[in-house]
Amino acid sequence: MLINEFIQKYRIVTKLVPSMTSSYNPYVVCKDGFEMSVQTGQSLYSEPRDVADSYEEAEVGFPSTEESLLTSYAEDEENLCGTVYGYVPCTIIDEVIKKHGGIDEDAIQERIDAGTSRKKIA
């Protein structure tokens, strides 16, 4: 599964007021246990910056371990697991997912069912 497919399948969009939305995707959990937040939409570091059918770039955040493919996009290069990564090309995100064995949809669904799909940030 590619990141754009993940977004379309799992994204939750809430209309706040006319022409303003909030969108949320659960954490991406890979088959080797690697996790990262990947968000798209208004007020996020994505292209386009709206609810769309496909994205060229997305905001990545708070990976469970340092990931060299993402490092150059980090806002805080001193805290690679505690920062966001703006405008990461979806092709790079797809490479990260592939590197970590693909998306573990069973793990994601378990978190959604348990109400724990949002990772707590210390």
Q: Mean pLDDT by 10-residue block, N- to C-terminus, for the chain (122 residues)?
A: 96 89 94 98 94 97 98 97 98 98 95 72 36
pLDDT of res. 39: 97
pLDDT of res. 72: 98
pLDDT of res. 73: 98
H helices then E strands: how many in the chain? 3, 6
Say if residues 10 and 108 touch (Cβ distance below 8 Å).
yes
pLDDT of res. 119: 44
pLDDT of res. 120: 41
What is each CA distance from 17 to 10, 28, 49, 90, in whole angstroms? Answer: 22, 28, 17, 29
pLDDT of res. 118: 59
pLDDT of res. 93: 98
Cα separation of 11 and 70, whole Å?
22
Q: What is the phi/psi pair of residue 93, to 5°?
A: -60, -40
For residue 112, give the H/E element and its range.
Answer: helix 105-114
At residue 90, the 3 state secondary structure works out as: helix
The shares of helix, strand and coil residues in the chain, as percent rounded to the nearest 5, are 25, 25, 50
User: How much is the pTM?
Assistant: 0.91
Give the sign of the dihedral formed by CA 69, CA 72, CA 122, CA 50.
Answer: negative
